[in-house]
């Protein structure tokens, strides 16, 4: 943010020929690494039924596992981003994956609940390094197509998250919690890929950062920027509290309400998370074309009719509605992240860490709070309550259209 107390100028990035071509090889590598990283992380949530029965946990304790992982990541990510804005660390990515690998191995053998929490904290620490730094790499490799780059980065992570329940149903449920250790091979593969990404990052970050230029755009007061960031924070709260209700408790909801098996419930969760992955490709490119404000507004508020209908649906329509919800809701984050990066130019790491951290934090707090609600009021009540969260998306109407002055400038 600029030193002036009065205004913050909106950045306009140079076109692709100024910042360099879009490097799809690097975007593919970072997206693939995101897939492996989030697949590993999603295994924690995917084996909750095994952990719950094996350690005789309450819903509140299940939520505490998510809270530990998410809060560890949310607190550290902005700090990592702020530090690397000032002192880039290209090889921090494989180091962060090393923490994830350690947490995964501990998860496979932990003999008690406290060590399960430690395993979750180690995985969260790995995420705190991976997400802000990978988001920076995606922006550097974007060639000016920031929304597209963030969507490609996000689709890797969301695809990985969707694979967790499926792999749990196929491998971990039949063979037991110890089989989690086999997924350490995925972490090792990610470390190899990230070493190559780190080499590219070291060679390109200085040249590409200098190639970015800012031109005069609409000036926002500092108070307006704070208001915009606050609205974006509330939208993150709405999105990730709702996603926590699905990712952490959907299998329990299906087993309780419709009497399905654990494996059947895992497949339903996979279908929802795969829809989230598919939808994450939409928000960034569409935001590049029509403006990120409108993508944010439609993707959160537009999902409300479907979330309100979900608690009253039968098993078939529950599956259909969750797919629609996943497709629409997941298109928001890439647009929110790029919008925030444009509000505060030159602080890509800090903004990425802040918003990834906020997303993780809201997901963790949501899992813990909703677990307590489920213990007291029942799992059905969780979905009746969360159905109203997307209505907060109406606040997006108060966000300024950042692309409007740039479009006018381009036509002049």
Q: CA–CA distance from 360 to each of 88, 105, 122 (Å)?
A: 23, 22, 14
Instruction: Name the nearest CA neighbour of 70 among 352, 357, 353, 382.
Output: 357
* CA dihedral sign of residues 25, 36, 72, 63: positive
325-339 pLDDT per residue, tens: 999 988 888 888 888
Q: For position 255, what pLDDT does the model report? A: 93
> How many Cβ atoms are within 10 Å of 285's Cβ, its own excluded?
20
Nearest to 333 by CA among 98, 38, 7, 2: 38
Residue whose token pair is 């080499």? 199
144: left (phi over 0), alpha (psi -120 to 50) or beta: left
Does the pLDDT value for residue 17 go beyond 50?
no
Average pLDDT over residues 163-191: 84
Q: How confident is the model at residue 377 (pLDDT cuts 50, 70, 90)?
A: very high
300, 396 contact by CB (below 8 A):
yes
Superfamily the domain 21-210+221-411 falls into = MFS general substrate transporter like domains (1.20.1250.20)
Taking the C-alpha atoms of residue 242 and residue 238, their distance in angstroms, rounded to an integer, is: 6
**Residue 229 pLDDT > 50:** yes
Short-list 310, 306, 282, CA closest to 296: 282
**DSSP assignments along 136-188, one per residue:** HHHHHTSTT-HHHHHHHHHHHHHHHHHHHHHHIIIIIHHH-GGGGGGGHHHHH
pLDDT band at 19 (very low <50, low <70, confident <90, very high): very low
Instruction: Give the count of beta carbons closer than 10 Å to the beta carbon of residue 384.
Output: 14
| Residue 193 pLDDT > 90 | yes
- The three-point CA angle 152-358-70 to 5° equals 90
What is the pTM (predicted TM-score) of this model?
Answer: 0.70
Q: Which of 20-24, 158-162, 207-211, 382-386 has the lowest mean pLDDT?
A: 207-211
Predicted local confidence at residue 16, as pLDDT: 37
What's the rounded Cα separation, in Å, for the pair 128 and 396? Answer: 27
d(CA 403, CA 409): 10
What are the strands, taking DSSP E only, across 28-177?
none
Contacts of 239 (CB under 8 A, 6+ apart): 300, 329, 332, 333, 359, 362
CA distances, 395 to each of 124, 233, 257, 298, 341 (Å) = 30, 11, 33, 11, 19
Q: How confident is the model at residue 213 (pLDDT cuts 50, 70, 90)?
A: very low
- In the prediction, which pLDDT does 205 show? 65
SS3 219: strand
Give the mean pLDDT of 164-185: 81
Whole-number mean pLDDT of the chain? 82
User: Using H for helix, E for strand and C for coil, what is the string for 323-345?
Assistant: HHHHHHHCCHHHHHHHHHHHHCC
End-to-end CA distance of the chain: 28
Q: Under a CB-based contact definition with an 8 Å cutoff, are residues 147 and 334 in contact? A: yes
Q: How far apart are CA 130 and CA 340, in angstroms?
A: 19
pLDDT for the residue 1: 39
| pLDDT above 50 for 406 | yes
- What pLDDT score does 20 carry? 63
Q: Is the pLDDT score of 304 beyond 90?
A: yes
Residue 84 has pLDDT above 70, yes or no: yes
Q: What is the mean pLDDT of residues 129-156?
A: 84
Q: Where are the domains of the chain?
A: 21-210+221-411
Q: Between these two residues, 400 and 405, which has the higher pLDDT value?
A: 400
Cα separation, 47 vs 176, in Å, equals 10
Residue range 51-57: average pLDDT?
A: 85
Find all residues with CB under 8 Å of 4, minimum gap 6, and list them. 222
CA distance 23 to 142: 7
Both tokens of 120, joined, read 């979750």
Q: Please give the C-alpha separations between residue 173 and each of 170, 233, 259, in angstroms, as whole numbers.
A: 7, 37, 18
Neighbour count for residue 325 (Cβ, 10 Å): 25
Confidence band (pLDDT; 50, 70, 90) for 219?
low
Count of positions (residues) in the chain: 412
Percent of the chain with pLDDT over 70: 89
Of 17 and 319, the structure prediction assigns the larger pLDDT to: 319
Binned at pLDDT 50, 70 and 90, residue 29 comes out as: very high
The pLDDT of residue 212 is above 50:
no
pLDDT, residue 232, reads 93
Strand ranges in 334-385 using DSSP code E only, listed in sequence order: none
């Amino acid at each position: 943010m600029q030193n002036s107390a009065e205004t913050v100028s909106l950045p306009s990035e140079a076109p692709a020929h100024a910042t360099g071509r879009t490097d799809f090889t690097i975007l593919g590598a970072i997206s693939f690494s995101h897939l492996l990283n989030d697949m590993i992380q999603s295994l924690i949530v995917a084996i909750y039924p095994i952990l719950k029965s094996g350690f005789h946990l309450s819903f509140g304790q299940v939520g505490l596992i998510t809270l530990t992982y998410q809060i560890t990541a949310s607190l550290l990510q902005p700090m990592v981003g702020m530090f690397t804005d000032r002192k880039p660390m290209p090889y921090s990515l494989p180091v962060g994956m090393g923490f994830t690998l350690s947490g995964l191995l501990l998860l496979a053998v932990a003999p008690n609940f406290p060590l399960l929490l430690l395993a979750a904290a180690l995985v969260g620490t790995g995420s705190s390094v991976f997400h802000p730094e990978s988001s920076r790499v995606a922006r550097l490799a974007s060639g000016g197509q920031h929304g597209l780059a963030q969507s490609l980065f996000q689709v890797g992570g969301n695809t990985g998250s969707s694979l967790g329940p499926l792999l749990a149903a196929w491998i971990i449920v039949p063979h037991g919690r110890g089989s989690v250790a086999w997924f350490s091979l995925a972490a090792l593969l990610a470390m190899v890929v990230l070493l190559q990404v780190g080499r590219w990052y070291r060679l390109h970050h200085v040249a590409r950062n200098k190639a970015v230029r800012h031109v005069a755009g609409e000036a926002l007061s500092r108070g307006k920027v704070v208001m915009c960031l606050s609205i974006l924070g509330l939208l993150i709260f709405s999105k990730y509290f709702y996603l926590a209700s699905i990712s952490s408790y959907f299998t329990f909801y299906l087993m309780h309400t419709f009497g399905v098996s654990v494996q059947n419930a895992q497949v339903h969760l996979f279908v929802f998370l795969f829809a989230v992955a598919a939808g994450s490709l939409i928000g960034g490119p569409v935001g590049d074309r029509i403006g990120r404000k409108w993508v944010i507004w439609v993707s959160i508020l537009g999902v409300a009719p479907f979330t309100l209908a979900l608690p009253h649906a039968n098993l078939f329509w529950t599956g259909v509605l969750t797919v629609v919800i996943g497709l629409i809701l997941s298109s928001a984050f890439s647009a929110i992240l790029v919008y925030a990066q444009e509000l505060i130019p030159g602080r890509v790491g800090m903004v990425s860490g802040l918003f990834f951290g906020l997303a993780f934090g809201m997901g963790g707090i949501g899992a813990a709070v909703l677990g307590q609600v489920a213990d007291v009021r029942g799992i059905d009540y969780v979905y009746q309550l969360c159905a109203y969260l997307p209505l907060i998306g109406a606040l997006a109407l108060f966000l300024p259209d950042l692309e409007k002055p740039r479009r006018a400038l381009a036509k002049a």
